[in-house]
Structure 1
Amino acid sequence: MYFIDVILPIPIKQAFTYAVNVHEAHFLKPGHRVAVPFGKSKIYTGIVYRVHQTPPQMYETKEIDQILDEHPLVTQTQLKHWQWIADYYLCSMGEVMRAALPGAFLLESETIIRLQTERPYTEVTLSAQEELILEALENRQQLHLNDVRNLLEKKQVLGVIQALIDKNRVALVETLYEQYIPKMVSYLQLAPEFQEEAALTALLDEMQRAPKQKEVLMQLFMLSARQSGAVKRQDLLSAVSGGTAPLKALIDKGIVLQEKKQTDRKALWEQETAASKGLSEAQQKALEQIRAEFAEKSVCLFHGVTSSGKTEVYVKLIEEMLDAGKQVLYMLPEIALTTQLISRLQYYFGDRVAVYHSRYSVHERVEVWNQVLRQDAKAQLVIGARSTVFLPFQDLGLIIVDEEHEHSFKQYSPAPRYHGRDSAIVLGALTQAKVLLGSATPALESFHNASTGKYGLVSLKERFGKVLLPDTQLVDLRDKNRKKRMRGHFSDTLLEAIKETLSEDKQVILFKNRRGFAPIMECMTCGSAPQCPNCDVSLTFHKAKGQLRCHYCGYATPITKHCGACGSMSLDPKGFGTEQIQNELQELLPEARISRMDQDTTKGKHAHAKLIHAFEQGEIDVLVGTQMLAKGLDFRAVGLVGVMQADTLLNFPDFRAHERSFQLLSQVAGRAGRTKDRGKVLIQAYNPEHMILQQVTTHDFDGMFKDEMEQRRHYGYPPFNRLIRFTFKHRNFETMQNGSRWFAKALEAQFNDGVLGPEIPPVGRIRNEYLSHVLLKVPIHAGIKAYKGKVGQLVRNFEAQKPFARIKLVVDVDPY
């Protein structure tokens, strides 16, 4: 008897064993997809993890339903990588599987209703709804649940269906359906007997009474000659004026043949590719140093200031790998960054570039997955966000993690709560690929690892073309307010600088890390502000949509003129976001072309690309945005960057607040002056004497690193300790508190010290669930496996406690 262990896409930390026959056992390999029964009626798509002959001790095995693939969809290396992610981030392999595979690979079972024909039934009275269902089934062989809902015009239909089952009139069937639909394109060509010129001329002479059909034939002949083969149906219809009827008539007569072919959804790069640019002396030196570091170490940190030309160095390394027949992975933290980089890399590598991230359709992601698995020439270089670490690379040679410091590489919800950079480093170790971490402001952990010799370290401290770093100045908002030199949220210094920059035909970027018009709408009479009914947070005012919105749960309500508490009409917005900055500046500079780039304006698939293209083409004078425009974008005509209020970044309850403030301000400042003319950066702040702001103005990364590391060492934060955060969620505050206190005491009894909390976070209720955090500090040199084994046991003990059974416990390793 043979058995297979199967990973199912459910949050249970074990594989499930199923029976297979000898032929299936010899055919199946780890990584194959199989459809398996689970529970009473469900069918799941699972991944084979192991083939063996050891039956399970605790339960009787079921047989698999069917094998779904000819060849394994997941590689052995991927399974090892999944196992590491599950072990390190304390989640199940099933959760990793669900995150890793495009949704179309997770075939779903669908409930179908059919007439019961196997057993006789007795005549009983049927309700009107039951008769309606039976009448529909007599005309159609089967109905889906949604069909029944539409038929009865109601959502709750299970009761009616169950009544028919009890009366022995219908049966339920669970069937698998494939979600991936290949893209089919219709191609047209003349039938063989009309392809000779003489035969075609005779045919055209016969068609004097069908001028539209004649026009279609003439266009098809010309397009066929131009393309040397079959013509796309859409191309032909675009070239003629008579619509589809003449073409259909020609197909029906057998004069034109139509054939459907499967094609990729990826748009082809139709331009000529170019050789990569020559490197400057500093870039060439950095490239040689990276090669030398890779000879000794598998991971190297590339610390290059903004606009130093790191991408051109990446291009040289990519060329070397592609020429050696290796695959390359290029990871970016934001989808917005891929927009500009894709065309840049396609300019060098053409159709060898593939893109993979969540804004692409599930069908497009399936095609990229298959291309990477086959080592297709169309996917030798893959660009994308953190999910690209899950692709089935066969011969990976290089992983580039650009802007490696970005916390966007961290997946916060749902599980697995993995970090893209760290997962990429482990993937590199499993595949013997080199990993290059690039940033102008590296994460402190990465810089610490490089400084201590764990990683290689290469620095590039001059901008390309020896352009000077931007002139960064601080504007004291206290002084400007006292001297009445403010126009709304703009100081006279910033406003004059914007006018001067625009007069020189240069562009401006304004940065404010808060979207919406205002974070609070306050009543001037009673002081109350509209609150989200589901979360302990004020609603943010979005003026363009006339709404108050919660940025935590998505709740929205129309703006009202009256205070909900006292009825007063004196509502006033407090604070400001990107929308208000755009409106204010448009009033101050009515001639300027001002656009906004934040989560509200970039929801569509190509929204990022349209905004970035318009800004690159000079169609926008001033771009107002959040942190998404601060990361790695290359705008050549930006002369000024303005930071509206830097203090909000610094005053945040997070041990990384100062590090992230330095990184974000340095990155957004780096968008200015990327050509020969030196750029200018103005940072408005109420506390310009703050050490971090002073370090940003002098570009003093080393000083910031030294100060922050001293603080981290003193208080026991990374990189000197690892962190595991436990979040408790429940609708009842007291139950949640009791559960978090019990768990904190259990942690203290197990580990003695290093336990902080329970503590209520700044936003203590989200989506009607109260929250509490407990933090565990794990010494960096401690046996992490032993620690996590004890933590896993404590979690299981907690979940077994009856009073806490309904508390949601979220375990997050390396949470910040």
Structure 2
Amino acid sequence: MAYFADLILPLPLDNRFTYSISEEEFQFIQPGMRLAVPFGKNRIYTGIVAAIHQDPPKVYEAKPIHQILDESPVVTEKQLEFWNWIADYYLCTEGEVMKAALPGAFLLESESIVKLKKSSEVDWDALNDEEYLVIEALQRQSSMKIQEIEQLLDKKKVLPVINKLVSRTLVDLNQEIYEQYKPKQVRYVRLNQAYSAEAEMHQLLDELSRAPKQREILLSYFALTARSKKSLKTKELIKESNASASVLKSLIDKGIFEEFFLDTDRVGFDGGSQNKEIHLNEDQRHAFEHIQDNFRENRVCLLHGVTSSGKTELYIKLIEKAIQNGKQALYVLPEIALTTQLIKRLQSYFGDKVLVYHSKYSLNERVEVYRHVLNNSEKGRIVIGARSCIFLPFKDLGLIVVDEEHEATFKQFDPAPRYHARDAAVVLAAKFKANIILGSATPSLESYFNADHNKYALVELTRRYGNVLMPEVEVVDIKTAHRKKKMTGHFSERLIDEIKECLKEGEQIILFQNRRGFSPILECNTCGHSPQCPNCDVSLTYHSHNNQLRCHYCGYHIAMQHKCMACRSNEISTKGFGTEQVETELKALFPESRIARMDQDTTRGKYAYEKIIAAFENEETDILIGTQMLTKGLDFRKVGLVGIMNADNLLNFPDFRAHERSFQLMLQVAGRSGRTKKRGKVLIQSYNPHHRIIQQVSTADYKEMYKEQLEDRYQYKYPPYYRLVRLTVRCRDFSKTNEAAEWLSRSLNSVFDPYVLGPEFPPVARIRNEYYKNILVKIPQKQSLGKTKRIIQKVLNSFKSIGAYRSVRVVANVDPQ
């Protein structure tokens, strides 16, 4: 009797692959386990078992598996179902979903190892220079990786050299698998059993009377073990006795102490939970009861609460209720910057039940969080993190909180799967029959539309906590200010006066400019030339801190140019401004103030967000300048003024969501102001102060914006009335990109006309030397989404079979943001 296992491999291939297994393996293997399997000529990959059965594959002969990597499943059945849904809905493969869902350390891949054959006789004269170097190196070390040989020969293509040596039977080329996850080991010490009796102990102390430092370590050991009966860390003992590691080593060498290692968790919480009682005010209590009523009917709940209305307290109460019912809770946030403040709040309330999961955590830390959630341990009852945490292996999920649900960062752009974490979380909640709450001060049009049409339940908080007044919003006309010469750099006279007033009152200030760097364009005043990126169709941005011109798409950089690259003129000026320039101007205007900047350049490290936010919270910073990282849900108590440096570059963007996004960004950043008793102030600088969106922000009129934007969306056939699928054609050859896009457009038009737009070049038509062209397919409400995607998939499959377009890549993006 033959037995088989269907595997999902971490490759962008549509099918699952069938491998043969023995009867004993059939009895042992379960869906969700990892198997190492051969794939292709000589590669070994980690696959996840999707099913075991007795039906042989029809087209090919099943290969046997290489080895079983787990004793129990690392992926749950619910996860496999969820992966399948994501692959189906977002037009990608299960392999791509698997690669995104599992921590990298789980996906072991084999590495090619070159070893010298023991029996081989080397004819040195027959070898060329490169072969000579490889053999010589292999005689000095037992084996080499392909990358090491590449470095040795200083060339990329080394396989021809290795293959020649293999054909002469001088070397062997093998595949070896390495376990990437390494548990963290901590060094402990204990006293040798021989000295546990009192007489021996006294004798030992007498013997060490001539070695005072060693005796001091021993006495410190007794003092520490008397205080706590736990095992003693080597570090603690050295610190307590003020001795050096070498003194302790000599005690270990003498056999007085024994050292041993224990595996410990990298993820953890040091402080105990303070469990501060949360008291809800009347509005919050009413909202809480309303949410609970809707949860009983298993409805998705949209919480529309103005900024500083106390949405987080409601979430904590809901999480507490889920934990009391023995369930797991998931708190999803759009930005890592946001998790910093919330982790402290949740951990001070729930202690070490809270785990954090996002991309700034190391490979090993993510594996440990994953395992805690998989084992449903007490430590992983609550998970907080960015979008990828929806892929964790929950066993008994009871509640999902999606905070700031309107954020575009919930959408994954590259690589596949291009999923939207908010929409996927709604499906995940349905699979677990869990409750889900979407919260925001400025909900996305789609979510509010769903609530408006009774698909979601709507709960509103219209007043700030403690009846604090909404900030006073003032719009400054910088067009007039420029004409009247009332501008200092990029600061209007009005903004400077307000900053001075705020600093005098001892309050803090936030300045928002949604562009990093010093200046986006460097321009020659003589010939008008501005330095461009050689790989992308964008100008280089000037960064003053390292005196570089840098491309924000591909990372290309050159030193700052002091002469025009075209006409060699010295007259070069910068156009536009970013956070760096705002910082430079502020330091000149307010040299006494403590100024910090928060953007992608200053938050590269794991704890960078934490340091900047903590410094601002502890009032070590007076003025904080930042990009949109600042706008989302951060709670600072002493901010008296928020300044939006230039509202126009948000509005003038070629995207149907530009006005909705501008409103959300400006209202969110305004909401950081005046969150305690004193009313805050918001100043918006704009060349077009009478723009509808800026007026709606100044009156915080969400419903007015919603109605107006909805009317436009209906008229021009955009979401929420129509669904969208965007196909992006990518290729290094310009004419091939055009031809392929035309072919795709004609094929789609033959089925979906008149709902196909394009092909069109996007605003940035070339990135990393690849040309891009977009085709947009609109899907009316009455048209079946599933059938439409199946037809698109058929067209894409036909496209892939055309030999001339083999170098062209098509990326499908469902519900693009």
Give the structure-2-normalised TM-score: 0.98
Gaps of 5+ in 1: none
2:53 equivalent in structure 1: 52
Instruction: Decide whether aligned partners of structure 1 residues 132 and 645 sit closer, same or farther in structure 2, where only a CA change above 3 A counts.
Output: closer
Distance in structure 2 (CA, Å) of the matches to 1:365 and 1:143: 30
Instruction: Report the CA distance between 1:146 and its aligned residue.
Output: 3.7
SS at match of 1:422: helix
Instruction: Report the CA distance between 1:153 and its aligned residue.
Output: 6.1
Distance in structure 2 (CA, Å) of the matches to 1:774 and 1:157: 41
Instruction: Report the CA distance between 1:152 and its aligned residue.
Output: 5.2
Distance in structure 1 (CA, Å) of the matches to 2:796 and 2:487: 55
Instruction: Report the CA distance between 1:481 and its aligned residue.
Output: 1.3
1:303 equivalent in structure 2: 304
SS at match of 2:473: strand
Distance in structure 2 (CA, Å) of the matches to 1:467 and 1:576: 34
Distance in structure 1 (CA, Å) of the matches to 2:31 and 2:230: 43
Bigger mean CA deviation after superposition, 531-540 or 214-223:
214-223
2:517 equivalent in structure 1: 516
1:725 equivalent in structure 2: 726
1:503 equivalent in structure 2: 504
Query: Matches of residues 51-90 of structure 1 in structure 2 within 5 Å?
Result: 51-90=52-91
8 Å contact kept, 1:297–1:455: no
Give the AA of the match of 2:726. R
Instruction: Report the CA distance between 1:783 and its aligned residue.
Output: 1.3
Distance in structure 2 (CA, Å) of the matches to 1:344 and 1:388: 19
2:105 equivalent in structure 1: 104
2:579 equivalent in structure 1: 578
SS at match of 1:208: helix
Distance in structure 2 (CA, Å) of the matches to 1:512 and 1:118: 68
Distance in structure 2 (CA, Å) of the matches to 1:561 and 1:249: 62
8 Å contact kept, 1:746–1:794: yes
SS at match of 1:49: strand
1:620 equivalent in structure 2: 621
Once the two structures are superposed, what CA deviation does each residue of 1:370-407 show, in whole Å capped at 9, x if it has no partner?
A: 00000111111000000000000000000000000000
Distance in structure 2 (CA, Å) of the matches to 1:789 and 1:203: 81
Once the two structures are superposed, what CA deviation does each residue of 1:595-614 show, in whole Å capped at 9, x if it has no partner?
A: 10000000111000000000
Give the AA of the match of 2:250. A
2:681 equivalent in structure 1: 680
2:603 equivalent in structure 1: 602
Give the AA of the match of 2:232. V
2:191 equivalent in structure 1: 190
Once the two structures are superposed, what CA deviation does each residue of 1:557-603 show, in whole Å capped at 9, x if it has no partner?
A: 10011101110011100111100001101101111111100000001
Give the AA of the match of 1:376. S
2:490 equivalent in structure 1: 489
8 Å contact kept, 2:327–2:381: yes
Instruction: Report the CA distance between 1:226 and its aligned residue.
Output: 2.2
SS at match of 1:619: coil
Instruction: Report the CA distance between 1:239 and its aligned residue.
Output: 2.9
Distance in structure 1 (CA, Å) of the matches to 2:225 and 2:148: 45
SS at match of 2:364: helix
8 Å contact kept, 1:331–1:402: yes
SS at match of 1:275: coil
Instruction: Report the CA distance between 1:163 and its aligned residue.
Output: 2.6
Distance in structure 2 (CA, Å) of the matches to 1:593 and 1:696: 29
Distance in structure 2 (CA, Å) of the matches to 1:227 and 1:525: 76
Bigger mean CA deviation after superposition, 668-677 or 232-241:
232-241
Instruction: Report the CA distance between 1:133 and its aligned residue.
Output: 4.1
Distance in structure 2 (CA, Å) of the matches to 1:10 and 1:648: 40
Give the AA of the match of 2:495. L
Give the structure-1-normalised TM-score: 0.98
SS at match of 1:113: strand
2:456 equivalent in structure 1: 455
Distance in structure 1 (CA, Å) of the matches to 2:593 and 2:105: 46
Instruction: Report the CA distance between 1:119 and its aligned residue.
Output: 8.4
Once the two structures are superposed, what CA deviation does each residue of 1:468-498 show, in whole Å capped at 9, x if it has no partner?
A: 1100111111121121111111111111000
Once the two structures are superposed, what CA deviation does each residue of 1:315-343 show, in whole Å capped at 9, x if it has no partner?
A: 11111111111100000000000001001
Distance in structure 2 (CA, Å) of the matches to 1:750 and 1:380: 49
Give the AA of the match of 1:93. E
Instruction: Report the CA distance between 1:749 and its aligned residue.
Output: 0.1
1:294 equivalent in structure 2: 295
Give the AA of the match of 1:490. F
8 Å contact kept, 1:207–1:213: yes
SS at match of 2:678: coil
Give the AA of the match of 2:438. L
Distance in structure 2 (CA, Å) of the matches to 1:6 and 1:99: 16
Distance in structure 1 (CA, Å) of the matches to 2:198 and 2:697: 74
Query: Matches of residues 309-708 of structure 1 in structure 2 within 5 Å?
Result: 309-708=310-709
1:173 equivalent in structure 2: 174
1:714 equivalent in structure 2: 715
8 Å contact kept, 2:732–2:770: yes
8 Å contact kept, 1:719–1:780: no
8 Å contact kept, 2:330–2:383: yes
Give the AA of the match of 2:305. G
8 Å contact kept, 1:522–1:571: yes
Once the two structures are superposed, what CA deviation does each residue of 1:161-212 show, in whole Å capped at 9, x if it has no partner?
A: 2232121111111011111111011111112232345432321111122222
8 Å contact kept, 1:724–1:812: yes
Distance in structure 1 (CA, Å) of the matches to 2:69 and 2:34: 5
Instruction: Report the CA distance between 1:110 and its aligned residue.
Output: 1.1
1:281 equivalent in structure 2: 282
8 Å contact kept, 1:298–1:433: no
8 Å contact kept, 1:276–1:315: no
Number of aligned pairs? 816
Instruction: Report the CA distance between 1:40 and its aligned residue.
Output: 0.5
1:770 equivalent in structure 2: 771
8 Å contact kept, 1:298–1:429: no
Distance in structure 2 (CA, Å) of the matches to 1:407 and 1:667: 14
Distance in structure 1 (CA, Å) of the matches to 2:157 and 2:246: 44
8 Å contact kept, 1:728–1:808: yes
1:37 equivalent in structure 2: 38
2:218 equivalent in structure 1: 217
8 Å contact kept, 2:640–2:673: yes
SS at match of 2:19: strand
Once the two structures are superposed, what CA deviation does each residue of 1:276-327 show, in whole Å capped at 9, x if it has no partner?
A: 3111111111111100111113310011100000000111111111111110
Bigger mean CA deviation after superposition, 551-560 or 215-224:
215-224
8 Å contact kept, 1:646–1:684: yes
Instruction: Decide whether aligned partners of structure 1 residues 739 and 135 sit closer, same or farther in structure 2, where only a CA change above 3 A counts.
Output: closer
Distance in structure 1 (CA, Å) of the matches to 2:286 and 2:84: 39
8 Å contact kept, 1:107–1:178: yes
Instruction: Decide whether aligned partners of structure 1 residues 120 and 5 sit closer, same or farther in structure 2, where only a CA change above 3 A counts.
Output: farther
Once the two structures are superposed, what CA deviation does each residue of 1:108-128 show, in whole Å capped at 9, x if it has no partner?
A: 101112233578998973446
Give the AA of the match of 1:46. G
Distance in structure 2 (CA, Å) of the matches to 1:551 and 1:139: 44
8 Å contact kept, 1:297–1:456: no
1:758 lines up with 2:750 in the alignment: no
8 Å contact kept, 1:321–1:328: yes
Distance in structure 2 (CA, Å) of the matches to 1:172 and 1:88: 41
8 Å contact kept, 2:120–2:170: no
SS at match of 1:37: strand
Distance in structure 2 (CA, Å) of the matches to 1:493 and 1:603: 34
Distance in structure 1 (CA, Å) of the matches to 2:722 and 2:672: 34
SS at match of 2:210: coil
Instruction: Report the CA distance between 1:275 and its aligned residue.
Output: 3.4
8 Å contact kept, 1:108–1:178: no
Gaps of 5+ in 2: none
SS at match of 2:209: coil
8 Å contact kept, 1:509–1:623: yes
Distance in structure 1 (CA, Å) of the matches to 2:39 and 2:487: 66
Give the AA of the match of 1:90. L
Give the AA of the match of 2:680. G
1:783 equivalent in structure 2: 784
